Structure 1
Amino acid sequence: MHIKKSLILLLSSYSCFLFAQEKTIDTVYIFDNQMNKVKLFHKITTLSPADIQKNSANLSDVLRFQTAVYIKENGRGAVSSPSFRGTSSQQTAFVWNGININSNFLGQGDINNIPLFGYDQMEVKSGGGSVVYGSGAIGGSIHLNNELAFNKGFDASVYSEVSSFATYNNFAKASFSNDKFSVKVSGNYFISQNDYEVEEKQYINRNGRYYNTTFNVGASYKIAPYQTISWQNQIYDASQHYPIFVENGNKTKYNSQTLRSLLAWDINKNNLSNSLKAAYTEDNFQYFGDVNQPKSSGAEGKNYIFKNDFNYFISPKFNINAIGEFQVNKGEGYASGIGNISRNVGSLAGLIRYFATKDLRFEAGIKKDFVENITSPLLYSFSGKWNALNWYHVNLSVSRNFRFPSFNDLYWQPGGNPDLKSETSTNFDMDHELSFGDFKITLSPYYMDIKNYINWLPTPYGYWAPFNTYQVKSYGLESQITFHKEFGEHAFTLNAGYNFAKSINQETKKQMTYVPLHKAFGNIDYRYDFLKVFVQGLFNGLTYTTTDEKRADAIEPYFVLNTGISATVLKKYTLGFRVNNVTDQVYETVSYYPMPKRNYSVFATINF
């Protein structure tokens, strides 16, 4: 594919736009075309498929041990939700290939009902991003990205893993590409009896079984030197059995099915690019109050999405970007009082980027959402990055972000509140990046002011209902240190972080529940010739679970250590062994639901 050299320089360390003659290169089609622009102004944590496989039990473990995100999980593999910087799970946006996939009903993503395998990269962005990524991008966003390369020929691999608690994980992928066509397919099947025991808590994870199946397929075709038609599709089917506390307790389960399909037409020519996307997403779930009886409740959600992203270079220093999106959100509940409902959602956003020099750049954005029957605020963002010295870079971002009420918030019966306002936040983010040889240190202070917080509260009528209640102010520090060194056949990589989060309910002046003041994580990788070793650790500080900061009900601090080793022979065959929770730590992320103690896994990979 032919591409302007200005676009190549966009991804370079200088990130400046300079017009020059065209150049032919092997290309990679990236479905989230905005992410490369986001990286010019914001710190992004990127995880590769190899990183993801270190914590192969579920997406919760990946985020818990390798990112700044705090995860609360009702026992391994059960209901799980994320928290950025002291915000709620509804204030986190999940983005699949550039499309916001938060549930219409819950307004969030259940992490353990989102596929783990089949992505080419996972990227985590802290801080507000509603101008680009829509409702819910208040505390941060989690990006699940696929890409398709050209001129790479055939490639395939099979991964298989056997773990404690009768856990089996199998993943296969294959790809083929030439100069005009690229296709990639993958499939994953995961099942676990999940029947672990924690003697110290007199706890057995009864009825903890879960399984899921995922199928991904993507294809891209160059219909002209500057034009590409691409398609990405994901099918997911899963079941979670919810733990019970006594042997003869009532066994329940939750089934979910997801379909996501995205068609894109991209034009990249001279100083102009345009990406037109049409997507269909479907999220269905069923809750069974008794695993042996018909479903007790459920819902079906369907979204029709059309999005156009226009990018134009006015001059070597000015770039304008216009994004328009229209959605039809449909839903129908079962035994929830939610009837057959439909909502139209549209938005218009404009961004302008100014590259003053190779070391100084700015971006300003504005966006207006049009949500049927809901008043939405005018959103804005301003970012600037300055490479002040060779070893010191600084960037500042100010933004206004929002989350509009979910279908459950509005229509659940009894209790739904059609008069709810959208949550809004004002975010201030700053990154200080310091480089010393092979070390890189990032210090990121932040501040958030969240208003019209949506809370479900008991009513005098005996049921719960959502209301716009208090204001929350969150402030703190995210920090990260990375190091990479190669010498001969040796390679050493370090990725570690520490977070301090103060998130205060302005009515009670107390810390928000399930927001630890302190979290630290670290990952060390060492490679020698055909051998690889990794060690990862997680420290979680005292975490309050009640609104009055009752110490007796708080989750105690804990430290969890994992490690693994693998060997690759003939560049095709890999055999490995992992130990999770090496020190046999007894810990919880949600009260009354202990996580597994020491457990093991053996895995093998074959590359073709």
Structure 2
Amino acid sequence: MMPYFKQLLIWIVILTGYRAYAQLPDSIIVLKQVEIRASRILEKQSSTRSTQKIDTFTLKTYSTNSINELLSKSTNITINQYGASGLSSVSMRGGNANHTAVLWNGFNIQDPLNGEFNLALSTVNIIDEMSINYGGNSALYGSGAVGGSIELSNKALYNSGFKASISQSIGSFGKLSTMGKISYGNEKLFIRTRLFRSSIKNDFEYKNFAKNGFPMDTLKNSAIEQYGLLQEVNYKITKKQEISAQIWLQNNERELAPNMTVTNGYAKQYDKSYRMATTWNRKSQKLDLEVKNGAFYSQIQYISPDINLDVIHTSFNNITDAIANYKFTKKHSTLFGINNNYVQAESDNFNNIEKLNKTAFFLSYKFDLKNKILLTSNVRSETVNSDFKPLTYGLKFEYIILKKLSINTNISKNYRTPNFNDLYWIGAYAKGNPDLEDEEGMSADLGLNYEIAFDKLSINTNITGYYSQFNNLIHWQPQGNFWTPENKKLVKTKGIEFRLQSAYGITKNISLFLNANYTYTDSKLKEKADNESDNVLNKQLIYIPYYQANGLLGFSYKKLRADIILKYVGQRYTTADNNNWLDKYITTDLNISYIYNYKDFGINGFIKINNIFNTEYMVREWYPTPLINYEIGLKFMYN
């Protein structure tokens, strides 16, 4: 294994040796135009220059991978995963996993039971666009949008004709992935079907740091198999009206590998999710209307023969939105919306079938002085089972100082309601608390955006400083023979985010690309739970690194593309008193792809070599990760 400092030295040489000079060809920075339907009303309301939009090339590069892998290597988001087949959780700006809203076509798809969404179970291939909004936005998206939101979208391609593609890839540790897509679009109708199936054994070798002498072991009981379908239908009723429907069905079968400290473990989990959504919208010069409904069913079955346990957890969630956006003038507009969310959950660990009904009213005002000022204010009032919640609000301001330079700020009050597990869980050693209060807090940020585009050079960069304070954090603590949650904690977080995207055309056929993301996060506990010692005060939250970064250095020659991807994660504490930690690490990947086109047909071949320097590291304590591994694949396209 190459020592850590040698990898760091290599990357310092690469990054400082990069130069971008004038005159970039338009073909390098402008993607082929396609006709797509306009963004949903709330997406446009929440989007600013500081919103990170994942580019088309990155989405295609990771199309055979999970969404969490793309996020960990291309954004400022912290990803924590329990081994190769375990839960993958998201942290934005030092928040918990249930502090990040995950939206699919405008619907919040966080699990009502635990408030999370396991991004490791979803492949990038099912989405067309991905946007990251950093910072709280509860006034628009409701409970859970505390640290930020991840928006996953499907877009209709009208007048696109008939298209089809099929891809097959194989990789290390028995990885096998098959994906197919077929679509048709004319002036009024767009239909698309996506099918996917993937499996992997995850039987890789690793150094077992829990055993004397650190011997090499082989990971067992870590296989994954998943398959699914996404069906989309979009129809233009008139030039101003459109109706759409999506059905996303997915099954996942996972073996849950034990950690290094456990000799044997044979637990399994079966995840089923059925998601259905319909949307009607009407757009006019003055008034835009949107009505949508989503129905979401989830079933999780956990089986552990070691302790003779077989439990099933199910949830049903129905979400209805009605939104109107009225444009008084070109500069002034207001948005009014009503949201109703009905949830029903049943679990072997609940005494009853639990139900929840939330109704929210939200209002937003936007002042848009093109090329100079953008001001957005939001306010939300919500009832939960007829109980009124405190108002939440948000204020966003953007000012264009110069043509290419702008400043933006965001201030918001945010909240999270307790999830069903917090309230109603009953197990052998744990019991929920139905008297829990909402978590709530304030957040603010200030950012600077800079964009330039010459004939050969393109640079887009953003730097943002942020601060947040969150009260009533829910903490599970022992009470007698049970663990139970209480509202005890106060956390204050401050940090810096930096993003850079750049491209430089050396000649007509040769180009260089440089992307970089850097995050500094200081997230400290200021008030502790009753059962905790004073040693945890003013200490960094566990598994939140002070520093993390990722970068891409790319080279293209005609239709050949090669990228080196760096990922750095700093030291992470594993105990609340910060006396134990996981070491920092750097991983380096190499991606190579080539596209060949002949008339209406195309072939895309790729190879990915991950962790090329055989770095040994852990994302969660005692859960191993693979050394060098590869994936190779072909995609056949008809357009």
Fold-level match, TM-score > 0.5? yes
Equivalent position of 1:301 in the other structure? 315
Distance in 2 of aligned mates of 1:31 and 1:240 = 35
* Farther-moved stretch of structure 1 (160-169 vs 462-471): 462-471
CA contact (8 A) 1:41 1:384 kept: no
3-state SS of 2:573 partner: coil
3-state SS of 2:179 partner: strand
Equivalent position of 1:578 in the other structure? 608
* Farther-moved stretch of structure 1 (432-441 vs 396-405): 432-441
* Farther-moved stretch of structure 1 (94-103 vs 484-493): 484-493
* Farther-moved stretch of structure 1 (50-59 vs 87-96): 50-59
Gap change, CA 1:49 and 1:466, over 3 Å in 2: farther
Distance in 2 of aligned mates of 1:573 and 1:343 = 50
Gap change, CA 1:600 and 1:374, over 3 Å in 2: farther
Report the aligned-residue RMSD: 2.0
> Which of 555, 562, 575 is 1:526 aligned to?
555
CA contact (8 A) 2:112 2:420 kept: yes
Gap change, CA 1:306 and 1:224, over 3 Å in 2: same
Does the alignment pair 1:331 with 2:345? Answer: yes
> Which of 399, 407, 415 is 2:431 aligned to?
415
CA contact (8 A) 2:85 2:256 kept: no
Distance in 1 of aligned mates of 2:344 and 2:353 = 8
Q: How does 1:14-29 map to 2 (within 5 A)?
A: 27-29=35-37
Gap change, CA 1:541 and 1:52, over 3 Å in 2: farther
Distance in 2 of aligned mates of 1:343 and 1:592 = 37
TM-score of the pair, normalised by structure 1: 0.92
Equivalent position of 1:18 in the other structure? none
Q: How does 1:65-104 map to 2 (within 5 A)?
A: 65-104=73-112
Deviation at 1:112, TM superposition (A): 1.8
- Structure of greater relative contact order (alpha carbons < 8 Å, 6+ residues apart): 2
Gap change, CA 1:443 and 1:574, over 3 Å in 2: same
> Which of 219, 222, 228 is 2:233 aligned to?
219
Does the alignment pair 1:389 with 2:405? Answer: no
Structure 1 regions of 5+ residues with no counterpart?
1-24
> Which of 243, 252, 256 is 1:242 aligned to?
256
Does the alignment pair 1:320 with 2:334? Answer: yes
Q: How does 1:371-450 map to 2 (within 5 A)?
A: 371-372=384-385, 376-413=389-426, 414-437=430-453, 438-450=458-470
3-state SS of 2:345 partner: strand
Q: How does 1:168-187 map to 2 (within 5 A)?
A: 168-187=176-195
3-state SS of 2:227 partner: strand
Distance in 2 of aligned mates of 1:32 and 1:217 = 19
CA contact (8 A) 1:55 1:61 kept: no
Distance in 1 of aligned mates of 2:345 and 2:49 = 37
Does the alignment pair 1:63 with 2:71? Answer: yes
Distance in 2 of aligned mates of 1:267 and 1:488 = 43
Distance in 2 of aligned mates of 1:26 and 1:119 = 16
CA contact (8 A) 1:515 1:543 kept: yes
Deviation at 1:381, TM superposition (A): 0.5
Distance in 1 of aligned mates of 2:564 and 2:341 = 44
> Which of 256, 278, 284 is 2:271 aligned to?
256
Output the amino acid matched with 1:527.
S
Gap change, CA 1:374 and 1:160, over 3 Å in 2: farther
Equivalent position of 1:511 in the other structure? 540
Distance in 2 of aligned mates of 1:292 and 1:516 = 35
Output the amino acid matched with 2:230.
N
3-state SS of 2:237 partner: strand
Equivalent position of 2:16 in the other structure? none
Equivalent position of 1:556 in the other structure? 583
Output the amino acid matched with 1:445.
G
What is the percentage of aligned positions where both structures have the same residue?
23
Distance in 2 of aligned mates of 1:466 and 1:261 = 33
Output the amino acid matched with 1:231.
A
CA contact (8 A) 1:49 1:120 kept: no
Distance in 2 of aligned mates of 1:55 and 1:514 = 28
Distance in 2 of aligned mates of 1:186 and 1:292 = 39
Output the amino acid matched with 1:578.
K
CA contact (8 A) 1:31 1:145 kept: no
Gap change, CA 1:534 and 1:51, over 3 Å in 2: farther
Deviation at 1:292, TM superposition (A): 12
Distance in 2 of aligned mates of 1:205 and 1:34 = 44
Output the amino acid matched with 2:266.
K
Deviation at 1:440, TM superposition (A): 2.4
TM-score of the pair, normalised by structure 2: 0.87
Gap change, CA 1:63 and 1:362, over 3 Å in 2: same
Distance in 1 of aligned mates of 2:266 and 2:254 = 11
3-state SS of 1:142 partner: strand
Gap change, CA 1:472 and 1:55, over 3 Å in 2: farther
Instruction: Tell me how many residue pairs correspond in the alignment.
Output: 579
Output the amino acid matched with 1:483.
S
Deviation at 1:26, TM superposition (A): 7.9
Deviation at 1:30, TM superposition (A): 5.2
Distance in 1 of aligned mates of 2:351 and 2:221 = 29
Does the alignment pair 1:453 with 2:438? Answer: no
Distance in 2 of aligned mates of 1:416 and 1:265 = 40
